[in-house]
Amino acid sequence: MNSEAAAETAALIANLWQRQLPTLHERLDTLDRIAASSAHGSISAEDRQEGIAISHKFAGSLGMYGYARGSQVASEMETFLRSDEAFDPGVLLSLTFQLRESIFPTLSA
């Protein structure tokens, strides 16, 4: 790929990222809500399924935008939410924070 084509591709990806930001923020806010409500020690089946769906989408898409760490954290979150082991809300809170931090490091500090 020549430098002109590479620049054009980078611009298209940046434009797509900008268009996806509102949805991304909404999904992160939903994960924050799920994590906060789980702090009581349990998570509803509906919240668990929604968390799985969102983390799965992030795991599959963040790498395309250059957020490999975010993709990895989202994959860990999906695995955690799918697990039949005893639920630990601290793990979900930590993963949610790590996910947001991997995408928007200056906003999480």
> Can you point out the beta strands (E) in the chain?
none
Rounded CA-CA distance 42/63 in Å is: 30
What's the pTM? 0.86
pLDDT at 41 over 60: yes
Contacts of 89 by beta carbon, 8 Å cutoff, 6+ apart: 35, 38, 39, 40, 41, 43
Q: Is the pLDDT of residue 109 over 80?
A: no
Q: Provide φ and ψ at 72, rounded to 5°.
A: -65, -45
pLDDT in tens, 22-34: 999 999 999 999 9
